[in-house]
Amino acid sequence: MTDQLNAVYQRQLSDFRLTYSKAGNVTSVVLVLAGVGLDHFTYPDRQVEFFLIRLLVVLLTLGILWVLYTEFGRRNVRQLTVLWLLLPQVMIAYMIQTTDGAQSIYFVGLHLALYAVGIILPISFLEGVGFGVLTVILYVGACLLHPDGPSNLPRLMTNTLFIVFSAAASAVCTWFNERARIRLFRLQQEVAEINANLRETNATLAEVKGQLLQREKMAAIGTLSAGLMHEVNNPVNYSLMAINMGLSLPAANQDPLLKESLMDAREGMQRVQNIVTDLKTFAYQKPGTDSQRTFLLENAIRSAQRLAGFELKGIEVVVDLPADTHVLGDEPALIGVLINLFSNAAKAVHAAGRAAPRIEVQAGHRGDRLWLRVRDNGQGIAPENIDRVFEPFFTTRDVGSGLGLGLSISYGIVQRHGGVLAVASEFGAWTEFSFDLPRPA
């Protein structure tokens, strides 16, 4: 494993060890207390003494359990686990030494602890070997310190060999368990990487799907606007011709009210013409190099204002542009970006309930590019959301009020023009979006 993976593995293993150490600690306490029954039937004359010893071991074991719940215990879980494991072994060794030595049946308890360590507890191979060696030393020492130790040498050797066999089996189990944990960890890491890749792929597909839906919607609007141009422009032209003819008659000049009414009607018809033309320009987004052409940004801003006119009602829109606003790019797509910025700004201003709602549009030259900013005095963007506004499907509006794709798609359009759509905001005060576009050579 790499150093990074090994560090992650060690952290997970530490948590694993801590959990199992706590559970094993409680189990050890229960088994040590349950041994009171063994003392009663095997050594009834010493059951009081052994009960006090068992009680001492239980208290020490519970003390270690309390330490395991501290930060110190978490850092030193391996050493503390080995410590509470050795407490029952030391207790059993004492009982063997003070009773029948090599003849004591209590040596079976040493085997029980060895197998439990090898099969259940997540200790390392070296720790398992060390625990087995210490268990053998404790048993041999207890038997040799017994008064009949030398005379029971065959029994001592037999029992010692059995303990060695158990220690070896426990160490082998520990080794295989350690290998299995490493393989399981690697498998978990592979699954986590695959899941992360799948989430990234799903997010990409969702973004592509959203963009495709947006393109289909634009195509539908384009088809609709083409029909509108055909169906609406003809009667509008007839009406304009009739209005102009009416204005040319002497009666119109003689009647100021009639003339004013005819001029209002002409202005309304011209506005209808402009709106349909803007809609057609916005909807016909042609992919490829043909979409990169020179146009006046001020015209695009004007078109976007008209198309977002309903949402901009009651809001003062201040436009400050340089004399030359020629830029190179995809005019329909950029009109869409501006409509989205105007729409978002209008919603923010209305939500803030300002006494003087205002949107400022400012542009200027910067080298071979033209920068533009749209600033509103709305409610601003919360600090925790400022880094997510361009994420696909991220929105703070109510369900059904939008897909959260507008700014994501706008970001991609600006990026396609060699720029970056940036955002700045002061929560509760204002929001500003800015980007720049290439100027024709």
- Tens digit of pLDDT for each residue in 291-316? 678 999 999 999 888 888 888 888 99
**Spatial separation of the C-alpha atoms in residues 272 and 267, rounded to whole Å:** 9
**Spatial separation of the C-alpha atoms in residues 190 and 198, rounded to whole Å:** 12
Which pLDDT value is given to residue 215? 59
Q: What is the pLDDT of residues 395-428, one digit of tens each?
A: 665 544 444 567 877 888 888 888 889 999 999 8
pLDDT of residue 144 exceeding 50: yes
**Spatial separation of the C-alpha atoms in residues 235 and 237, rounded to whole Å:** 5
pLDDT of residue 5 exceeding 70: no
Mean pLDDT is lowest, of 46-50, 64-68, 150-154, 220-224, for 220-224
Average pLDDT over residues 271-287: 59
Average pLDDT over residues 372-383: 91
Is the pTM higher than 0.85? The answer reads no
Nearest to 163 by CA among 85, 121, 122, 106: 106
Q: What is the mean pLDDT of the chain?
A: 81
Average pLDDT over residues 282-297: 64
Select the highest-mean-pLDDT range: 9-13, 85-89, 181-185.
Answer: 85-89
DSSP string, 144-188: HHSTTTGGGHHHHHHHHHHHHHHHHHHHHHHHHHHHHHHHHHHHH
Which pLDDT value is given to residue 8? 61
- Bigger pLDDT: 148 or 356? 356
pLDDT of residue 287 exceeding 50: no
Which pLDDT value is given to residue 387? 80
- Bigger pLDDT: 216 or 269? 269
What's the token pair of residue 217? 């919607």
The one-letter amino acid code at 400 reads: G
Which pLDDT value is given to residue 288? 44
Which pLDDT value is given to residue 439? 92
Inter-residue contact 425 to 434 (CB < 8 Å): no
Which pLDDT value is given to residue 220? 61
Give residue 376's pLDDT band: very low, low, confident or very high (50, 70, 90): very high
DSSP β-ladder status, 293-296 and 369-376: unpaired
**Spatial separation of the C-alpha atoms in residues 20 and 393, rounded to whole Å:** 43
Average pLDDT over residues 69-91: 88
Average pLDDT over residues 249-253: 81
pLDDT of residue 432 exceeding 80: yes
